[in-house]
Structure 1
Amino acid sequence: MDAAADGPRRYLVRTFGCQMNENDSERISGLLEADGLTPATSEDDADVIVLNTCCIRENADNRLYGTLGHLKSRKDARPDLQIVVGGCLAQKDRDQVRARAPYVDVVLGTHNVHRAAELVAQARAGGPITEILDAAVADDATMFPSALATRSGPGHTAWVTIQIGCDNSCAFCIVPAVRGPEISRPFDALVAEVEALAADGVTEVTLLGQNVNSYGRDLTLAARRAGDDVRVRPLFADLLRATGAVDGIRRVRYTSPHPKDLRPETIAAMAEVPEVCSHLHLPLQSGSDRVLAAMHRGYTAERYLERLAAARAEIDDLAVTTDIIVGFPGETEEDFARTLEVAAEAAYDSAYTFVYSPRPGTEAAEMADQEVPAEVVAERFDRLKVVVERTAVAAHRARVGRVEEVAVEGPSRKDPSVLTGRTAQNKLVHFPSPTPLRAGTYAQVRVTDAAAHHLRGELVDVVAPARHRTRIPVAAV
């Protein structure tokens, strides 16, 4: 018997992975709601459980199969419970997912998210379904459906997918295999979507892509091939300016750029458009030129630091974050020492540091004979953490005494009497408030204390109240 036999069927979406996966999860949630389902509060009252997967790092695989093992007992007790596996891992390993968890009702990939509700309905009527599409068979209407048509409910923030896929060939990355080549969404459609989001109460948008810097290069190339007199170039800087100019949009963020494609016009747009946040996430991955070449990153450490310096010279109060991989195959102590040097010179506000894990299907996975011993990787990881946290604390302490504008995100998970907000530089700020403030409220907060990963402050003033309806969250794991 269904958990919701006395009312609408209920769904729960759990997300494994990056912002792109979270964006897809919102689309899936919106489609299921449009088909009559309502959000569940937990697995106990869900009739449909969707696991939207990642395959970038090994831990995501382990968590997926661990979760599927846990759900098997629920499926045995309730045969009408539907389990759906989607996302990058499903796109890459459809047969393995089906073999390891034959009780899964639907397996779908990254290119048929638009079919999620239909496949759930078909599987309920006719049994398990596996449907994986190639990017070549999908068009803009299916790859990039309207955010408003598929969002799980409006909030003050929204993701806007501007492109899918990637044309780079980083040796450690499986994204091109599971997301396909770069396909940019039409410029006017994106601006129209941001306008619609703003009209619905959204004040902050994040532009999403695997390599946002190259957004629109394929569009201009196609126009040139069609005979139009246009210059083949990226359109990302133009898109930043256009979205920043949308009435009602207070903040524009983006992720993720590639250092080799960070162009002067993008830096200029960030410097000149007040709505574009002063935060640059610029993945380094390694400070060693030898390792960067083996990774096929397309830049040297010197070139990376030059572009970072150019951005800091033009953009006021710029915060910089990064990604760094420790233990890439063949990484020597000398290579790692150079990474420490570059990380110290870059003086990051924070860094996402990762232990390298091989992904089947990537070039680096074939370098098993160059594997760095686990104990060496662990020791290097700890040393890198010290360097990164040293510069992060210094950057945060420099903000003590300043008044920052924060967008309220809600009560702190550790202390509900304290609110949490985020600055334009993506700094997390905890502060008490004498009265409750809704998520999406913009407030002035004076910074009083600093730690490596957050700031503390005191409320000075409320500058803009929230103007959106309450948003239904999608669980992330």
Structure 2
Amino acid sequence: MDPHDGQPTPRTYAVTTFGCQMNEHDSERIAGLLEADGLVPAASEDTADVVVLNTCCIRENADNKLYGTLGHLKAAKARRPGMEIVVGGCLAQKDRDLIQQRAPHVDVVLGTHNVHRAVDLLHESRRSGPLTEIVEQTLDDAEAFPSALPVKREVDHSAWVTIQIGCDNNCAFCIVPAVRGQEVSRSFGDLLDEVRALAADGVTEVTLLGQNVNSYGRDITTRLRAAEPSVDDAVLAGEMWSGDDRRRPRPLFADLLRAVGALDGIRRVRYTSPHPKDLRPETIAAMAEVDAVCEHLHLPLQAGSDRVLAAMHRGYTAERYLEKLAAARATIDDLAVTTDLIVGFPGETEDDFEQTLEVVAAAEYDSAYTFIFSPREGTEAAGMSEAFVPHDVAVARFDRLRAVLERSGVRKHRERIGRVEEVVVEGPSKRDRTVLTGRTRQNKLVHFPSAEPLRMGTYAHVLVTDAAAHHLRGELREVLARPTHRTRIPVVAG
């Protein structure tokens, strides 16, 4: 009870996210559901009435992070028996029974396809005790994308939009198909409706999300190809495909880029993560021709050795990868390219690694996410233990790879000195509150001082004056557009 007005004190929640942007977006939806149920954000995880841990299982230490956090929360729950704990996400999908065996103080375990049920499951657990709910079968569009879920976005000017879930590839190192299922694409019309609504709420930048984002729509057009033409085809697959008498099964991603980029109010369109084998000429053309689509391509290489790529089941050679990259750079002006790389995949020899260094040097990346291979139970690569690369060898290779990447990254950044960049303000710098941080269309971080405080979501021109490996520095030249979203006043519990 609030002593000031006699009203019941709202229950509080905290959501902690491990993993990728898909998990971050799922967390936004869980937070939205909790707030729709009357909860408000807590000051900290320890004081929250409901704690949600949205997990990832891609990396080796993901389970260590989860169980370490659950151990800490066990003590907090002993002090506050009313605390409720929810574990969701990919690790929950994979280890559903193990989680409640190792942490019986968890109230709800829910899978990757049960996000929309988070509040219902909490209510049910209060009546019947701890429970686990996991959906494993292949979902259709309506089941995979429940409509009208509330979302609590942390950033007002930018939003994630999930266009597809699941993955039909079988990369030897990846657990995603096992925990996210087969590819299911969302209907074209629903996606455009969501982006229109976001734009009406002041969002100017959207990031299209999918496990294999550039294969979006292939499942829809394959299904429609076998059916009689219908008035619903334009809603499901867009007007470009439904108006084509050939009705060819094909991805719809390029069509989607064009349609989203044409919507009023949307200044920037980004996407992640594509697969190199599905980077098609029409996608490159859409990136070049649609003003709103940003000049940034994240194209995961993973390895530069054809032998390792074949063992990974990546579906391309190093030569084919570089050809696609060259086609993108030749077509899209001022394109920044980033990538993912795995060091020490089972069986990787010194010669294999040298080939990776050669491809990385030729690709001249702006930056990269680099990882030392970690076996994930349930993947093909986890069963290759006899071919595991010694850890000290992998670490040494990792350091050599980072040195090559750093050289190209610094060179790419220095080339931008003297240029005026369009940036969108993301807020004050973490190290110096008098300095603002913004992001260019190429997804590069820029730090610059400003005599006036600029709200997040402000677009401005900034002159680049200096460059470091992972950021740029600059001077504010002019404000281009101020945000139209409403300033949100945080609700403080108690």
Report the TM range for the smaller structure's normalisation: over 0.9
Residue 68 of structure 2 corresponds to which residue in structure 1?
Answer: 66
The structural deviation recorded for 1:146 is 4.5
Residue 127 of structure 2 corresponds to which residue in structure 1?
Answer: 125
The structural deviation recorded for 1:252 is 0.2
Q: What SS does the aligned partner of 2:150 have?
A: helix
| Gap change, CA 1:13 and 1:92, over 3 Å in 2 | same
Residue 221 of structure 1 corresponds to which residue in structure 2?
Answer: 222
2:24 to 22, 38, 44: 22
The structural deviation recorded for 1:441 is 0.4
Deviates more, 1:317-326 or 1:121-130: 121-130
Query: For the Cα contact (< 8 Å) 2:141–2:185, is it kept in 1?
Result: no
C-alpha distance in 1 between matches for 2:332 and 2:61: 36
1:56 is matched by which residue type in structure 2? Answer: I
C-alpha distance in 1 between matches for 2:122 and 2:281: 46
Alignment pair present for 1:288 and 2:289: no
Per-residue CA distance 1:417-467 (angstroms, 9 max, x = gap): 111000000000001100111100001000010011000001001000011
The structural deviation recorded for 1:63 is 0.8
**Identical positions, percent:** 74
Q: What SS does the aligned partner of 1:361 have?
A: coil
Higher relative contact order at CA 8 Å, sep ≥6: structure 1 or structure 2?
A: 1
1:83 is matched by which residue type in structure 2? Answer: I
The structural deviation recorded for 1:141 is 3.8
C-alpha distance in 2 between matches for 1:60 and 1:424: 32
Per-residue CA distance 1:361-402 (angstroms, 9 max, x = gap): 000000000010011001000000000010000000000010
2:116 to 114, 133, 142: 114
> Counterparts of 1:59-458 in structure 2 under 5 Å?
59-136=61-138, 138-146=139-147, 149-152=150-153, 155-228=156-229, 230-458=247-475
Per-residue CA distance 1:290-328 (angstroms, 9 max, x = gap): 000000000000000000000000000000000000000
C-alpha distance in 1 between matches for 2:135 and 2:449: 49
| Gap change, CA 1:144 and 1:151, over 3 Å in 2 | farther
The structural deviation recorded for 1:147 is 6.7
TM-score with structure 1 setting the length = 0.96
Q: What SS does the aligned partner of 1:268 have?
A: helix
Q: What SS does the aligned partner of 1:249 have?
A: coil
Query: For the Cα contact (< 8 Å) 1:82–1:124, is it kept in 2?
Result: no
| Gap change, CA 1:199 and 1:261, over 3 Å in 2 | same
Query: For the Cα contact (< 8 Å) 2:33–2:149, is it kept in 1?
Result: no
| Gap change, CA 1:323 and 1:472, over 3 Å in 2 | farther
1:196 is matched by which residue type in structure 2? Answer: A
TM-score with structure 2 setting the length = 0.93
Per-residue CA distance 1:249-279 (angstroms, 9 max, x = gap): 0000000000011000000000000100000
| Gap change, CA 1:472 and 1:331, over 3 Å in 2 | farther
2:320 is matched by which residue type in structure 1? Answer: R
1:201 is matched by which residue type in structure 2? Answer: G
RMSD of Structure 2 on Structure 1 (CA): 1.6
1:47 to 43, 46, 49: 49
C-alpha distance in 2 between matches for 1:148 and 1:61: 28
Spell out structure 1 runs of 4+ moving beyond 6 A. Answer: none
C-alpha distance in 2 between matches for 1:471 and 1:82: 27
C-alpha distance in 2 between matches for 1:410 and 1:394: 27
Q: What SS does the aligned partner of 2:206 have?
A: strand
Query: For the Cα contact (< 8 Å) 2:46–2:73, is it kept in 1?
Result: no
| Gap change, CA 1:212 and 1:362, over 3 Å in 2 | same
The structural deviation recorded for 1:469 is 2.8
Query: For the Cα contact (< 8 Å) 1:324–1:351, is it kept in 2?
Result: yes
1:129 is matched by which residue type in structure 2? Answer: L
The structural deviation recorded for 1:145 is 3.4
The structural deviation recorded for 1:468 is 1.3
The structural deviation recorded for 1:149 is 2.7
Query: For the Cα contact (< 8 Å) 2:144–2:184, is it kept in 1?
Result: no
Q: What SS does the aligned partner of 1:167 have?
A: coil
C-alpha distance in 1 between matches for 2:415 and 2:488: 34
C-alpha distance in 1 between matches for 2:309 and 2:488: 41
Stretches of structure 1 lacking an aligned partner (at least 5 in a row): none
1:279 is matched by which residue type in structure 2? Answer: H
C-alpha distance in 1 between matches for 2:378 and 2:21: 22
2:220 is matched by which residue type in structure 1? Answer: L
2:347 is matched by which residue type in structure 1? Answer: G
C-alpha distance in 2 between matches for 1:186 and 1:113: 19
1:340 is matched by which residue type in structure 2? Answer: L
| Gap change, CA 1:423 and 1:472, over 3 Å in 2 | farther
The structural deviation recorded for 1:150 is 2.8
Query: For the Cα contact (< 8 Å) 2:31–2:152, is it kept in 1?
Result: yes
Query: For the Cα contact (< 8 Å) 1:406–1:443, is it kept in 2?
Result: yes
Deviates more, 1:256-265 or 1:44-53: 44-53
Query: For the Cα contact (< 8 Å) 1:153–1:470, is it kept in 2?
Result: no
Corresponding residue pairs, total: 470
Q: What SS does the aligned partner of 1:458 have?
A: strand
2:340 is matched by which residue type in structure 1? Answer: D
Alignment pair present for 1:36 and 2:38: yes
C-alpha distance in 2 between matches for 1:166 and 1:472: 39
| Gap change, CA 1:380 and 1:154, over 3 Å in 2 | closer
